[in-house]
Structure 1
Amino acid sequence: MKTGISIASCLLVALASASCSSTPGAAKSASPTSEGVTETQTARPTLTNPKLQPPSQDNKYTRSSGRPKVVFDPCTWIGAADIESVGFRSESRERGPDLVAEYTFLTCTFDNPGNTLALGLDSGNITWEENLQKNGSWLESTTINGRRAGWGKGAPGATDECNVQMETKVGVVLMWIRVQSLGKNQNLDPCANIMEIASAVEKSIGKEN
């Protein structure tokens, strides 16, 4: 069972109070292929399950913000083989809660086979500088496949969580690994293999983003 509030939600509370929309919108027009995958207008593979499609980013809040639309959607851009190669179940993939307002975050979560660890991903359009204003005090600078990033063993008070945050052309990708209730009595380290997991996520983002 996935628990807790996404990093994106916490960031939005800290940055500003914003009205938001979570109503799913139609995905980009696409042509289905033989493996349940579509090629979108951006020529990137997208999972076709309607429950996983991102919400529309076109509303009065996004239009007034002047911020770019979020491109990388973690729920539909990360393939099954990629997520399973780092120890999480593709079939556990769950959307949301997406936030589409003055700031936009597209969110996805995954569980591992024993439901002892959860992986969360928030792809947003706050700037790297805005992210550092909130999280810079506990993040250690690093790079993931050459991409500027930071990592830390949880925000203050989050002892069962480890984070990697990466810069994108339109904002940030916030990644967390959280020890679930079933894993707490096993003394699991949420930071174990986190750089390997972050590397797989980064490759899904794509160098063009």
Structure 2
Amino acid sequence: MRRIRNILLALLVIVIAPVATSCSSGSDNPHHPAGSDQATSSTATQSARPTLTSPKLQPPSQDNKYTASTGRPKIVFDPCTWISDETIQKAGFDGTSRERGKDLIAEYSFLVCHFSSQMRDLSVLSGNATWEEDLRKVGSYSEPITVNGREALLVHDPDTHRGCQVDLRTKVGFVQIAVDLTTRAPQTLNPCDGITDIASTIEPEIGKDN
């Protein structure tokens, strides 16, 4: 079962718990493949680059009374509409499994997308919690790395034995690339095997300006 990583929830729960029900927006509707249909999106991310246009994939507005009170920058990179099927397939996942997760638009905001394969599920989260806030939460059990020249963390969560994640620094916060082993995966499979390759494949989709 796909899920938002525990470490992300730990980062957010103190601040957003009182308001998450009223201000978060998301959907678990299955994806109908958008194929090669691409156009310039006019969504709340105000992206200047082509994005997937399936209505079921579009991100929610980042304008509400909670986001307005924080002064945090809007998230630009939306994983569900910016990452191509080709990139997801190169990373080892099924592009047609693309599914928008439960986006969180609050004091901290995160846009969420899920993908799957036989052995692993993939979640990509793009948020505006700062890199410094992420470091305070996970730095004690993370290994600093670089991914295609981008500052990153390989997170070894001691409470997670079937999952692994890489956090990539962005101008507005960070992108989290998290994998979880499925029930079909052998118990001997290390969830961190190959995760830096997955991150390296996905990272260019964030864009050099983000």
CA 1:15–1:146 in structure 2 vs 1: closer, same or farther (change >3 Å)?
farther
Matched, 1:82 2:83: no
Aligned to 1:124: 127
- What pairs up with 1:14-53 in 2 under 5 angstroms? 14=14, 17-20=17-20, 21-23=23-25, 35-40=36-41, 42-53=47-58
Contact 1:148 1:166 in 2 (8 A): yes
The residue type paired with residue 191 of structure 1 is: C
TM-score normalised per structure 2: 0.86
CA–CA distance in structure 1, aligned partners of residues 67 and 14 of structure 2: 18
| CA-atom RMSD in angstroms | 1.8
Contact 2:120 2:181 in 1 (8 A): yes
5+ residue gaps in structure 2?
27-34
CA–CA distance in structure 1, aligned partners of residues 148 and 14 of structure 2: 29
- What pairs up with 1:1-209 in 2 under 5 angstroms? 2-6=1-5, 7-14=7-14, 17-20=17-20, 21-23=23-25, 35-40=36-41, 42-112=47-117, 114=118, 116-153=119-156, 155-185=157-187, 187-209=188-210
What secondary structure does 1:61 align onto?
A: helix
- Alpha-carbon shift at residue 9 of structure 1 (Å): 2.7
The residue type paired with residue 8 of structure 2 is: A
CA 1:18–1:37 in structure 2 vs 1: closer, same or farther (change >3 Å)?
farther
TM-score normalised per structure 1: 0.87
- Alpha-carbon shift at residue 18 of structure 1 (Å): 5.0
Number of paired residues? 195
